[in-house]
Amino acid sequence: MATLAARPKPDPLARPHSPRLVFFHSGLSGRCRRVEGFVAQVLQRRQNHDTFVVHRVAQEEHVDMFERFKIDEVPTLVVVDDKIVQGRLERPRSCREIEQFLAPWLK
């Protein structure tokens, strides 16, 4: 007969949840593909892989999300923490610009 182990309680002193980095893009845009590479580079640079939970939202598939967040231009990066938009960057042009935008959350 199998026994069930008690599930450990979450540690209240453990690191809180990660903020969400929402990447609004279009699959048809070369600029969006380039910016996706910039984001990956910024997150890898100082081992920030786990700093954000990254969500990619394609314009062609999730028009409702674009309307909900009032996204007019792609690519756009949005940081959401505790269900509140903490920052927004439209049409980033470089790794440096993205790194400066994400600096408050990076290690």
Dump pLDDT digits (tens) for 38-74. 999 999 987 888 899 999 999 999 999 999 999 999 9
Residue located via tokens 């967040």: 69
79: CATH: 3.40.30.10
For the whole model, what pTM was predicted?
Answer: 0.82
Q: In this structure, is residue 1 part of a structural domain?
A: no
Residue 51 sits in which domain range?
A: 20-102
Do residues 27 and 83 make contact, with C-beta atoms less than 8 angstroms apart?
no
Provide the number of structural domains found in the chain. Answer: 1
Looking at residue 76, its amino acid is T
What are the CB-based long-range contacts (under 8 Å, 24+) for 26-29? Answer: 26/58, 26/59, 26/60, 26/74, 26/75, 27/58, 27/59, 27/60, 28/60, 29/74, 29/75
Q: What is the model's pLDDT at position 84?
A: 94
Q: What is the mean pLDDT of the chain?
A: 87
CA-wise closest residue to 76 among 64, 51, 93: 93
pLDDT band at 94 (very low <50, low <70, confident <90, very high): very high
Q: In this structure, is residue 3 part of a structural domain?
A: no
